[in-house]
């Protein structure tokens, strides 16, 4: 999800702008984040640029390599599989801990977020799609009652941003996502946590499978400029 951490001032603006570029695919995995290029784009000091890159590294969406500098994080197939193994475990456990049937207030809140999500899908508003989707899932998982578990889920959602971003403009994937959201809401009206947990795990698979297919079949090459 877009970072809600307050870094203050111009640094925060740069972090937010670059994070959006990464999430929405304007900066592809492996793209170098060159300080001089960023200085030309943002009228700030080199120190501020470096601090913003450091914050992006802390968020897990950028990396630094010796003699190469900062670049948009590129996940290997093994990294993707490991991150999603953790996401599946965390989200399954959270779903199992949610008290079912959920309250009418929670169902109403989730349905409202879902309707906002659908509106953004229909209008093609990528940022709105991304933010409403994350709000839907974090609102649902917050019902598990364990703030540390929810924080961990949010952390791994962020780590998987390069994987998740590929579905934002894909109508077929978005239609599947809408169906999954409605199925989760219906499951929360009932008493079977295992059904809800499996839905949460199944929901992760389309983006993961597509990303793995893309990177495993792509020709080897150098970093993007």
Top-tier CATH class for 77-216: mainly alpha
- Write down the pLDDT at residue 5: 37
State yes or no: pLDDT of 113 exceeds 80.
yes
pLDDT of residue 171: 85
- Statement: residue 7 has pLDDT above 50: no
Band of pLDDT at residue 162, cut at 50, 70 and 90? confident
Q: What does the alpha-carbon distance between residue 219 and residue 52 come to, in Å, rounded to a whole number?
A: 31
Residues with Cβ within 8 Å of residue 119, at least 6 apart in sequence: 128
Same topology between domain 10-72 and domain 77-216 = no
Contact 74, 31 (CB under 8 A): no
Going by pLDDT thresholds of 50, 70 and 90, the confidence category of residue 9 is low
Q: Give the pTM.
A: 0.80
Per-residue pLDDT at 43 exceeds 80: yes
90-106: average pLDDT: 98
Burial (0-12, 13-18, 19+ Cβ within 10 Å), 14: buried
Residue spans per domain, the chain: 10-72, 77-216
What's the pLDDT tens digit per position in 71-94?
988 889 999 999 999 999 999 999
Share of the chain above pLDDT 90, in %: 57
Kindly report the average pLDDT of the chain as a whole number: 88
What's the CATH fold of domain 10-72? Arc Repressor Mutant, subunit A (1.10.10)
pLDDT band at 11 (very low <50, low <70, confident <90, very high): confident
CB contact at 8 A, 52 and 18: yes
Better-scored residue on pLDDT, 83 or 65: 83
pLDDT of 219 reads 59
How many residues are listed for the chain in this entry? 225
């Amino acid at each position: 999800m877009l970072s809600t951490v307050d870094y203050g001032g111009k640094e925060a603006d740069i972090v937010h702008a670059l994070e959006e570029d990464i999430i929405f695919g304007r900066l592809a995995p492996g793209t170098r984040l060159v300080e001089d290029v960023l200085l030309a784009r943002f009228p700030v000091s080199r120190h501020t640029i470096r601090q913003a890159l450091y914050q992006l590294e802390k968020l897990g969406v950028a990396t630094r390599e010796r003699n190469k500098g900062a670049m948009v994080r590129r996940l290997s197939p093994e990294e993707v599989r490991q991150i999603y193994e953790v996401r599946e475990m965390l989200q399954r456990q959270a779903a199992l801990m949610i008290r079912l049937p959920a309250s009418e207030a929670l169902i109403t809140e989730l349905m409202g977020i879902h309707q906002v999500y659908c509106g953004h899908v229909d209008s093609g508003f990528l940022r709105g799609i991304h933010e409403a989707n994350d709000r839907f899932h974090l609102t649902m998982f917050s019902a598990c009652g364990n703030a540390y578990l929810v924080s961990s889920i949010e952390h791994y959602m962020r780590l998987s941003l390069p994987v998740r971003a590929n579905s934002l403009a894909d109508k077929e994937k978005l239609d599947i996502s809408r169906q999954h959201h409605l199925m989760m809401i219906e499951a929360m009206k009932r008493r079977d946590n295992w059904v809800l947990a499996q839905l949460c795990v199944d929901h992760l698979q389309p983006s993961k499978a597509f990303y793995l297919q893309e990177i495993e079949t792509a020709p080897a090459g150098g970093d993007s400029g």
